[in-house]
Structure 1
Amino acid sequence: MSSIRKTVCDFCLNGCNLGVSFDGYQYRVEYLTGEAPNFGRLCPRGNSASIVIDHPKRLCYPLLDGKEISWQQAMELIGKWRQSCRSDEIAVVYSRGLTEEELGIVADFAREIGTGNLICGYLEPDRYLGYRLEGVRSANLDDVSNSRAILLVGDVFGVSPVAAGFILNARYADRTSRLVVIDSIRTKQAGFAHLFIQVRPGTEYRALAAVAGILDPKLKLDVDRLAAECGVDRLLLEEAAAIMKSAPNGLVGAAASFGRVSNPLLHSLCAQLVALKADKPFAGFAEAFVPEGKVSFGQFYQQIAQGKIRLVFWFGGLYPYSYPEVLPELSKIQFRVATSIFRFNYVLPGLLLPVPSEFEKAGQGGTLWRRVVREPVANP
């Protein structure tokens, strides 16, 4: 019988425990029913762990313009490209899928080659959920379990299906429990709400600001104007504020999906403002919190358009092809070095280097609920 190797899923910040076994032929996901926070439950992403490890399209050798080359050839080519460019013509980009140690190595690499162009390439709006207003408490699992008033903005259940189980347990734990949902789309999550406030697309943060203004009149916000901009009745916002204020224990949770949020920073901060004024903890349900770089992606994009970047190193799981909107500009870069777990069906120009998946390397990191140490469950 094969042994079970345990780890913590890195596909989102819920930090679910899972196991992987190998019977000599294939890898299989094992469900650790006795371990918090998920008690064996996994979302579709977590269930794909064994598929990622054992995928037939795993990249095993470096590719140059789609053709296999040796590691020695790849390293020689990188050295040649590096020598042909000035330091200010080189950019180092990183995205999700890197451990804290690897992020440090990437920063050291940029410093070693003498470039200040260190850029975060994780462009998802949920990255702003990692910001914190002063005085806002981060929620823990006990806060969720004991909540009797929960306000969710965005599709939290869609982003974190396992966390949806915690929230629903709290919602049905007591007849006095109340769930408020603010969103522009009537998702499945809205069906569980006692109060669903459907706002105009992209105006969620205005509704949140209005709720905060009702909770604390000292903010002197024009609640009527904000309600009109959201396209909702002020009375609904007042009801949401009353629910959050009346319960001694509660939670404010936020999710920010790509294409659904007009201003992700205000989306995050206004949700936290509600938490602060209602004296409730906050949880930002995100896939990853990736630190800011020295140069913003917008500045990097302008440098490319101006022909100032000739060589780019792109580390992590989200290479530019994840964002087709930026591909036309990125194609102007003369030399490109990127990393990938998989071989693609189409030719990617430049040098593509194989790397281990999240399940094949050790590392430390944070989740919504705790610090974790991840152990590899397979060899790359």
Structure 2
Amino acid sequence: MAGSKANRSKTICPVCSLQDGLILQWQRSSPRFTEASPISVDYDMENPINEGSLCPRGNSIAELVDHPRRLTCPQIEGRDVPWQEALSQAAKSLKGLVKKHGPEALGVLAGGGLTLEEAVGIGKLARDVLGTQNVAALFPEDGDAFHYLAQLGWDDGFSLKDLQGRQVIVLVGDVFMEHPVISKRILRAKYKDRHSHLFVIDSQATQTAGFAHQHLQPLPGTEPLVLAGLAQLLSASAQKKSGEFSLKLDLEAVAQATAVSQEQMATVASALNSAKDGVLIQSNLFGRLGQPGTCAFLGHVLTRLVPGKLAFLHLPVFWNGRGVYQVLSSGDKGQKAISGPHILESIIEGKIKGLLLFGLDPLSAMPTDELDQAMKKLDFLLVADVFPTVSTELAHVLLPAAIGPEKGGQILYLNGDKQEFQPVVPAPGLARPEMDIFESLAQQLSSDTKLSITPQDVKEKLSQSGGIPWDRILPEVASRLTQQLTAEKGQDTAYPLYLVSTAVPAHLGDGSLTRNFSWAHRVCQAPCIWAHPSLMEKLQLKQGDQVQVSSQRGQAVFPVLANRGLADNVISAPAHFPEVRRLFSWNLDPRSGELEPGPERVLLSKPKESS
């Protein structure tokens, strides 16, 4: 209505782990989008986290809460039905599976869009109501790092607000592209003091690396060896007791395996040792870093080798990813928690007959032909989500869920602090918050069951993490690093190139959520391959030509584009598309059981029909 006053409500961006503050504003009493009363985003300049700054995703949030593709009605086999009918059918199917195969034939997987209360609720629904221990969070990018940090007791206490005073900042990965809002604080710290140092460890010469005083560009996948080299140098310079840090890697061999010189590693170690304070920040994409859990572990170790001077911060991908993982990985009744990838393996093996998915799409996150076929053979699949995905197409029962600004609750911030927020817009159509779905489904399964989640429940789940001394984990990590050091000496003639992932700021994670952004459609609607011009010339490829990428997992054809930031033996692709993720191997960390989505060896060639 012309001249009417806009409604304005502060909320939190529901996409990435920075949880940036923003303001949603709309005309009239209804926030639902029409041409006459559009929702828009305004900047929350008073927010202490982002100080009003927003990335392309945050600027597009109004689209998510008011999108024509939103799921708005429950469905059974693609047919719109009332909530009661959908829940009744789900309960009937689940009871039948438990009676026929037992409760362990059921699996439950959660994504990073749940609140802490919802994470506790999904755990109670699975373990107490359904009777299965097969419940987990699934985060291919962060699960491995989460496992190690949980065992170590997390490393909380450092906040983004503390960045400005740090003399030395070491970034592992393409932090500016993956979490653009953080760049302002990092650059402010860099230029505040002429004695400050910004180092970047990344296999690509990215925009983040372009701001560094020094860019350490290791061979893809060897980042943990570089961090281990830094740890060894810091240990020696700090004159630690003999045996306290017992990695004992040959630094010359590390330099040869990583293509990062001893002098470069020594420069970083010296800066960390002499500065009054510093921080190491790790950000990982699917297929970007080698052994991301090992990298996180070594980041923790570095803080212990320079006590009181160095902080470590892992930047997860998804909104409340850490909170959901921390709640669900705590296990139940003395039983060890199972990992998300192990649940997927059980589906492939046919052990799990019924699956409940809440806010994630495994067929976008960890796609393989084997998983595709196994998901199609499930006796029952329930999916609760915000948008249509590959997995929703297979759902026997589909339930429309709410997104962040449409529900209230608590989420966990990067430093372990809890953030509470309230719903500011209603969910579209018949969509509901996941907590409502859990409670209603539990009632259908057992009429005398009520899922009551208290603040104490959340507190207890968050308090059950680790505290294992790092030196107890070190021998196992050292063994893996030694194996990697030996393996890097060989050459793979069948697959001579490295494939690594590249971040596109309009996208996030597997892209199942952000592919709905109009901005994402404009800047990266479909996957492509980037290669150095010299490699393109060698293969007689021109800008935009179709090229075949082959790995041990499979092959795909994409257009190729030039990128001078890559080495001539490295190609990159956006990991926000299932077609790209299918090329990467399912390597599980033997300690965590989580996926290690590292760089993949590939062959680049012209498609056969165009050869």
Tell me the TM-score normalized by structure 2.
0.59
| Residue identity opposite 1:269 in structure 2 | F
Larger displacement relative to structure 2 (177-186 or 222-231): 222-231
Deviation for aligned residue 1:10: 2.9
Residue equivalent to 1:228: 256
Deviation for aligned residue 1:39: 1.4
Q: 2:164 aligns with which of 132, 145, 160?
A: 145
Tell me the distance in 1 between the aligned counterparts of 2:424 and 2:275. 43
The structure whose Rg is larger is 2
Q: 1:56 aligns with which of 39, 47, 68?
A: 68
**Secondary structure in 2 aligned to 1:184?**
coil
Larger displacement relative to structure 2 (124-133 or 170-179): 124-133
Q: Is the 8 A contact 1:143 1:250 kept in 2?
A: no
CA-atom RMSD, angstroms?
2.1
Larger displacement relative to structure 2 (146-155 or 216-225): 216-225
**Secondary structure in 2 aligned to 1:172?**
helix
Does residue 1:266 correspond to 2:285, yes or no? no
Q: Is the 8 A contact 1:97 1:316 kept in 2?
A: yes
Tell me the distance in 1 between the aligned counterparts of 2:13 and 2:351. 39
Q: Is the 8 A contact 2:382 2:395 kept in 1?
A: no
Tell me the distance in 2 between the aligned counterparts of 1:183 and 1:315. 33
Deviation for aligned residue 1:83: 2.2
- The size of the alignment, in residue pairs, is 380
Deviation for aligned residue 1:274: 2.2
Could you tell me which runs of 5 or more consecutive residues in structure 2 were left unpaired when the two chains were aligned. 29-36, 332-336, 428-611
Tell me the distance in 2 between the aligned counterparts of 1:136 and 1:84. 44
Tell me the distance in 2 between the aligned counterparts of 1:265 and 1:334. 34
Q: 1:339 aligns with which of 384, 390, 405?
A: 384
Residue equivalent to 2:411: 365
Q: 2:20 aligns with which of 13, 16, 23?
A: 16
The correspondence of residues 198-347 of structure 1 with structure 2, limited to 5 A, is 198-217=217-236, 218=240, 219-220=245-246, 221-222=248-249, 223-278=251-306, 279-287=309-317, 288-289=321-322, 290-291=324-325, 292=329, 294-325=337-368, 326-343=371-388, 347=393
| Residue identity opposite 1:255 in structure 2 | S
C-alpha offsets along residues 324-366 of structure 1, whole Å, 9 cap, x if unaligned?
Answer: 2233332221210011112459833422110111110001122
Q: Is the 8 A contact 1:143 1:281 kept in 2?
A: no
Deviation for aligned residue 1:322: 3.6
**Secondary structure in 2 aligned to 1:151?**
strand
Does residue 1:119 correspond to 2:136, yes or no? yes
C-alpha offsets along residues 120-175 of structure 1, whole Å, 9 cap, x if unaligned?
Answer: 22222366157164695642234311011111111111221111110010001111
Q: Is the 8 A contact 1:21 1:28 kept in 2?
A: yes
Indicate how the Cα distance of structure 1 residues 161 and 317 shifts in structure 2: closer, same or farther if over 3 A, else same: same
Residue equivalent to 1:354: 400
Tell me the distance in 1 between the aligned counterparts of 2:135 and 2:146. 22
**Secondary structure in 1 aligned to 2:181?**
helix
Residue equivalent to 2:34: none
Indicate how the Cα distance of structure 1 residues 348 and 196 shifts in structure 2: closer, same or farther if over 3 A, else same: same
Tell me the distance in 2 between the aligned counterparts of 1:129 and 1:75. 33
Tell me the distance in 1 between the aligned counterparts of 2:57 and 2:9. 18
**Secondary structure in 2 aligned to 1:196?**
strand
Deviation for aligned residue 1:239: 0.7
Tell me the distance in 2 between the aligned counterparts of 1:129 and 1:188. 27
Tell me the distance in 1 between the aligned counterparts of 2:389 and 2:258. 43
Larger displacement relative to structure 2 (116-125 or 202-211): 116-125
**Secondary structure in 1 aligned to 2:310?**
coil
Does residue 1:99 correspond to 2:115, yes or no? yes
Could you tell me which runs of 5 or more consecutive residues in structure 1 were left unpaired when the two chains were aligned. none
Q: Is the 8 A contact 2:109 2:358 kept in 1?
A: yes
